[in-house]
């Protein structure tokens, strides 16, 4: 309508541009009135046409279910529909009929249903030139007041040539209730495709259709993952005595609890990985969970330190990772200090043949099951 109005305004403007000044003769005034009347008439016709066009579009959209027909996906699959199959022989007998075929009542997911098939398309749902198929819930008188059934709905057309089922869905959950007892797709499959023998949907004048009804029940619980900064009792200190006597193997601290999980430190005094044999490693390992904790992957962010026993010049690295559910997964560094620097007494890291590691858990995750 805005385009038509704009065109009408342009026409009026052009006519005014060519009108003579008011000092001209009455004859010219008459011509001016005539031109003005023609312009107004044109504007009225244009506006009326636009209004009529909008009315037509509005009426069409009123009958066309966007929710049921927009964004359909169609894929072929091997598995037959799990809820209902209807096969019609002598299809040519009914191919011109406009009234629907309603199947017998069947049970699926604890409710009663019917298939409603328009072999020549449901024109009230934009189905002209298509086959339309719907599912209607039945015997709702037995359901409690205010009932609602949420369904993941898939409808099917069998292709005997490929021995597969064309699966049609739009991915939207269908809410069956007193106000809306029937859902489906007005444009299930084009008639031109269905009747094309090369496509393979109709064979020996027989066509098959189906439905799969899966109830969608809202989750009653949810898993909530919370990240906690500087949790309680988040600093663990481990002093290792008689360092020079330690063997070439991994040593582990006692387990300590931070959040919902137990942790421990570990190192090999002779080095590990790329740092071996010239550097000292340190790792944080995730262990088991406290009683009644939700066992999931756990986020652990930690400051790993080799303490300087004579100053605040500690060696420190920051590490953060998702620790898996299984125990014994470690994250750390192969080189927190060179062994040459560690054994240099003037540097203050090895004192009286002892070293001190420290783990400061700066952020951890805790998982709880809560109401949805």
Query: Residue 60: what pLDDT?
Result: 32
Through-space distance between the first and last CA atoms of the chain, rounded to whole angstroms: 48
The beta strands (E) that lie in 241-353 are given as 251-252, 256-258, 261-267, 279-289, 298-306, 315-323, 329-338
Of residues 11 and 95, more confidence is placed in 95
User: What CA dihedral angle connects 38, 42, 44 and 47, to 10 degrees?
Assistant: -170
Checking if the pLDDT of 222 tops 80, the result is yes
Q: What is the pLDDT of residues 339-361, one digit of tens each?
A: 999 999 999 999 999 999 999 99
The average pLDDT across 66-71 equals: 50
Helix (H, G, I), strand (E, B) or coil at 294: coil
Query: Residue 70: what pLDDT?
Result: 53
How many residues in total does the chain contain?
372
The beta strands (E) that lie in 290-354 are given as 298-306, 315-323, 329-338
Show the CA angle centred on residue 253, arms to residues 251 and 255, nearest 5°: 135
Query: Residue 41: which pLDDT band, with cuts at 50, 70 and 90?
Result: very low
- Sign of the CA dihedral running 180, 181, 185, 191: negative
Q: Which helix (H) or strand (E) holds 12?
A: helix 2-17
The average pLDDT across 201-216 equals: 96
Query: Residue 51: what pLDDT?
Result: 33
* 46-60, 65-79, 239-253: least confidently modelled range: 46-60
Checking if the pLDDT of 11 tops 60, the result is no
The average pLDDT across 132-145 equals: 96
The average pLDDT across 60-81 equals: 66
Beta bridge partners of residue 221, listed in sequence order: 371
What is the token pair recorded at 351? 């004192």
Of residues 329 and 37, more confidence is placed in 329
Query: Residue 9: what pLDDT?
Result: 31
Checking if the pLDDT of 141 tops 50, the result is yes
Percentage of the residues of the chain whose pLDDT score is greater than 90: 79
Whether omega for the bond prior to residue 277 falls within 30 degrees of 0, making it cis, is yes
Checking if the pLDDT of 14 tops 50, the result is no
Burial class of residue 85 (count of CB atoms within 10 Å of its CB; 0-12, 13-18, 19+): middle
* 32-41, 110-119, 142-151, 279-288: least confidently modelled range: 32-41
Query: Residue 71: what pLDDT?
Result: 82
d(CA 346, CA 105): 90
What is the token pair recorded at 133? 């198929």
Query: Residue 43: what pLDDT?
Result: 39
- DSSP assignment of 64-129: S-HHHHTT-EEEEESSPPSSEEEEESSGGGTTT--SPEE---EEETTEEEEEEEETT--GGGT-TT
Q: How far is CA 344 from the centre of its chain?
A: 58
Residue with tokens 């010239």: 278
The average pLDDT across 151-157 equals: 97
Show the CA angle centred on residue 201, arms to residues 195 and 203, nearest 5°: 85
Query: Residue 37: which pLDDT band, with cuts at 50, 70 and 90?
Result: very low
Percentage of the residues of the chain whose pLDDT score is greater than 70: 81
Q: What share of the chain is helix, strand, coil (3-state, %, to 5)?
A: 25, 45, 35
The average pLDDT across 166-180 equals: 96
CA distances to 31, 252, 289, 360 from 332, in Å:
95, 14, 21, 13
Query: Residue 218: what pLDDT?
Result: 86
Q: How far is CA 249 from the centre of its chain?
A: 48
From the list 156, 158, 161, 157, the residue with the least C-alpha distance to 199 is 161
Checking if the pLDDT of 16 tops 80, the result is no
Beta bridge partners of residue 301, listed in sequence order: 320, 363
Q: What is the pLDDT of residues 256-268, one digit of tens each?
A: 999 999 999 999 9
Beta bridge partners of residue 117, listed in sequence order: 101, 133
Show the CA angle centred on residue 292, arms to residues 225 and 284, nearest 5°: 65
Show the CA angle centred on residue 335, arms to residues 330 and 338, nearest 5°: 145
């Amino acid at each position: 309508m805005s385009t038509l109005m704009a065109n009408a305004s342009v026409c009026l403007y052009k006519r005014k541009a060519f009108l003579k000044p008011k000092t001209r003769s009455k004859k010219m005034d008459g011509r001016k009135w005539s031109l003005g009347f023609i312009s107004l008439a044109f504007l009225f016709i244009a506006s009326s046409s636009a209004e009529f066009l909008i009315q037509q579009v509005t009426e069409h959209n009123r009958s066309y279910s966007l929710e049921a027909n927009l964004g359909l996906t169609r894929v072929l699959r091997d598995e037959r529909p799990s809820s209902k199959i209807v096969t019609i022989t002598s299809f040519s007998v009914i191919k011109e009929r406009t009234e629907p075929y309603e199947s017998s009542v069947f049970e699926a997911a604890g409710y009663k249903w019917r298939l409603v098939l328009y072999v020549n398309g449901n024109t009230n749902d934009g189905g002209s030139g298509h086959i339309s198929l719907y599912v209607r819930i039945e015997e709702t008188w037995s359901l409690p007041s205010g009932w609602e059934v949420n369904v993941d709905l898939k409808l099917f057309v069998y292709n005997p040539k490929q021995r597969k089922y064309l699966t049609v869905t739009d991915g939207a959950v269908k809410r069956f209730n007193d106000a809306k007892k029937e859902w489906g797709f007005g444009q299930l499959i084009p008639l031109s495709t269905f009747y094309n023998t090369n496509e393979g949907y109709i064979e020996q004048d027989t066509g098959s259709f189906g439905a799969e009804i899966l109830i969608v029940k809202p989750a009653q619980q949810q898993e909530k993952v919370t990240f906690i900064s500087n949790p309680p009792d988040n600093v663990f200190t481990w002093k290792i005595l008689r360092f020079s006597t330690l063997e070439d193997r991994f040593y582990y601290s006692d387990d300590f609890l931070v959040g919902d999980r137990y942790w421990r430190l570990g190192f090999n005094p002779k080095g590990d990985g790329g740092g071996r044999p010239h550097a000292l490693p340190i790792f944080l390992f995730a262990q088991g969970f406290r009683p009644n904790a939700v066992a999931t992957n756990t986020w652990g962010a930690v400051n790993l330190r080799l303490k300087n026993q004579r100053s605040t010049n500690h060696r420190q690295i920051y590490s953060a990772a998702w620790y898996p559910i299984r125990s014994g997964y470690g994250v750390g560094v192969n080189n927190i200090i060179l062994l040459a620097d560690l054994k240099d007494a003037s540097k203050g890291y090895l004192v009286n043949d002892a070293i001190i590691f420290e783990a400061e858990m700066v952020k951890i995750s805790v998982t709880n099951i809560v109401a949805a």
